[in-house]
Chain A
Amino acid sequence: MTILRRTISRRAFTAGSAGTLALGAPLLSRPALAQAEPLRIGWLAALTGPSSAPAVGFNRGVVYAVEAINAGGGVKGRKIELVTRDTQGDPTKAVNATQEMISAAKVHAIWGPTNSGEALATTPIMARFKMPNLHPCVVNSLIDTAKYPNAFRMAPSNSQWDDAVRGYVLKIVKAKKVAVIGDTTGYGTTAAGDSVTAFKKDGADVVYTAQIDSTQPDMMPDMLRMKNAGAEAIVMWSVSTGMAARMFNARAALNWDVPFVGHPSLGSGEVAGLIEKPANWEKVYVINYRSCSFDAAGKLPTRTQEFLDKSKGKIDLTNTLLWWVASGVDVIEIFAKAVTETGSSNSEDIIKFLNAQTKYPGLFGTYTWNTGEHNGFPTEEIVMGAANSSKDGALKLAPGY
């Protein structure tokens, strides 16, 4: 019988110890690294292209908030790293950017995209990876807690906009006969169709409805038809500022003072340059928000005013809307708070935090999310604003409030 004795030489011991240390070091130091690892927030922004105006506004708020938090020491010592990708409003580019953010950049949460066409393409991808996602897109189907438990809306949905417009027209303007028009885009057609159905359900007389080519040089034909039909208010669903301005000019040419109520684009600064005279923009009321509205005394809500005072000179508000900027600030602060309170940047923890928010006091809105409802913006905070009253990106409340 032979007994085999294995001895460990000094050289083998040294080599083995070094190897163990080398292999084990990353494991030992992981908690320390996680603490120092930046909090990466993906930002799918259509910063150029035909629908870039909102993202440019959101971006100002996002950049401001990131710089402010990082200057204050970051989130529990972790700097926020913004991973911005310009999607140009193109769903294909948005899909590519989403995949790159998740697989290569390893972001912890994603903000955006900011238009529904892109979001329809990216939302299922983010759901597959359980990526916490906040977005402001209005299409109703983008929020579904069963299919997309990771996706949260922090702006109103289309039906909330529709409810607010309809409420203003029927209860405050007290119009009985309504004309509802949209442009010929997918959004214009759907929004106008839904609006007509809802008006009819509420007992209103929809005397005229049409899809109008937004490049049509003369809007007089439709204005004449609406006037002849006896419309007491015109509800308009279009993002085309050219179409809006032509409508207002045609209304003035007819000496008709019917009010226009509708999409925020009717109040875009671009319209000001396209109307033939400033008076043509009177009696145009657009979707706006309590937080970004001047009251009768010309004052903004205290929280908004404090933000404006604090950010004065740091954010350009001359050619954008305040609610876009405010939303951008809110998103970054919400993600930062999620990591601060849970002490983790894991997807599950961020989603759990979002699902537990009741009346979260944001700059733009008071958000409430839970496991059964991811439409976080309260309808009562949607109001109509006077389109031609923009100052610092905020509007005066429309008459009647």
Chain B
Amino acid sequence: MDHVAALLVELGLLFAGLSLLGILARRLGLSPVPFVLLAALAVGNGGLAPLDTAEPFLTAAAEIGVVLLLLTLGLEFSATELFSSFRRHAPSGVVDLVLNAPPGFVAGLMLGLPWEGALALAGVTWISSSGIVARLLGDLGRLANRETPAVLAVLVLEDLAMALFLPLLVVALAGSGPTAAIAGVGLAVGAVVLVLFAAQRHGHRLGRLLSHDDDEQVLLRLVGLTLLVAGGAQAMGASAAVGAFLVGLALPASFAERARAILAPLRDLFAALFFVAFGFATDPGAILPVLPAALALAVVSTATKMGTGWFAARRDGVAVPGRLRAGTALVARGEFSIVIAGLAVTAGIAEVGPIATGYVLILAVAGPVITRFAEPAALRRPAFAPT
């Protein structure tokens, strides 16, 4: 087979496989992320069928996948929602950080990672998967529940914290020392605050600049702007992901709705390729030895996340069953843990890959299962089932 034929056939098989995995995941009521990771591990490096021809394309597509993931994350929440979450739930955000980041950091040091690697692992255990959790709340019919605003507020605050944590991590991974790391975070705080305020006053101008009757025009302008900003951020030594996130934040809510709808298929495609590329870059043989450590870390950080949800829901005056639901709902880790681990792997700390993969595989599956069991057994039925 010539090169082009091989590339197309490999990608075709890849997408067909991803489709099957997606169906399987939905059947089981789980996120497709762990399935994609597992499959990529099985086929990739040292696995059954390394996709050699598609590898360079996958690497580039993975970078775009991260940028689009963070762009849609920024589009997800309006500035109003960020401010109101911050005002009402800031203590929950602090508890979230204090309870969930240290287990990852300590585990990283115990596994003999350099402190930069341990910092990345702290991020992996800290950030819940907003994708998995938001979907779960909808599927389980919990949106109207009284603990749900607190759960969503914790997710919003984590996402905002990501905009500060990612530059810190990128600077630390570049090995520039603590002073540069602090300067990097200062710059990120400044950029986020500036963008949020600019979005409040002038966001509609940006929206007008990007909007057009034609969806194709909107897509091209939005992706063009995002890649430019992301590239600029990367060139300045910050993270491309943060640049994309800021673009998403700056867009006004009225435009964001249309942008989300237009971007969704593209985001899904490239994000899937990102997870595939991450799985490929990880040596499956390296996961088995660290699996016990990943399991122990999963158990500890399940407990700490439940503590976070318990605390956040109690502040809203929710009773014990609701606090349990809130705590267990937050347990799932997923896409953003992988994004963080991916940064560490790219920076040359390959040991973060296997432990993060094992950890996300466990909690992306266990999280949704655990929170289903937080419902009283008699009521554990699918929501909105026709009776």
Q: Do A and B bind each other?
A: no
Measured CB to CB, the residues of B under 8 A from A are none
Measured CB to CB, the residues of A under 8 A from B are none
